[in-house]
Homo-oligomer: A and B are copies of this chain.
């Protein structure tokens, strides 16, 4: 816990109780939850939790470079506890988002055609291995 507090302080984020809870939840979840996924999960254990706090916290974390926003779903935003760019696979059937470990020169670019690159998102859309079987 002490390490988590220091981690947030290092990134310039005031380590409030709520932020530590959200941070821990993101670390534990191996998925790419939406703000509402997080809200619902935390609301069960901490009924006082507010939806606005989840949104505020995710915004703060994103600004601090602790997490990254994934804008690959047309419905809602997903959050990724891994802030560095990597590829994803989005299953149109079960809606699951999987990390894809693939070496791609594109993911490391800091500049392209004179434009300054700050983030990269590469997403494959289709039907996942599991859904193909069913």
Interface, chain A (partner B; CB < 8 A): 69, 71-74, 77, 87, 89, 91-92, 98, 100, 102, 104-106, 109, 112-129, 132
CA–CA, A77 and B116, complex, Å: 23
Q: Which residues of the partner chain B approach A114 to less than 8 Å between Cβ atoms?
A: 129, 132
This chain's copy number in the assembly? 2
User: Contact: B113 with A89, CB < 8 Å?
Assistant: yes
A43 CB → nearest B CB, Å: 23
> 7 smallest A-B Cβ distances: which pairs?
A114-B129, A119-B125, A118-B126, A122-B122, A117-B126, A116-B126, A116-B127
Q: Which residues of the partner chain B approach A122 to less than 8 Å between Cβ atoms?
A: 106, 120-123
* Cβ 8 A contact of A117, one of B115, B116, B118, B125: B125
* Cβ 8 A contact of A121, one of B91, B112, B125, B127: B125
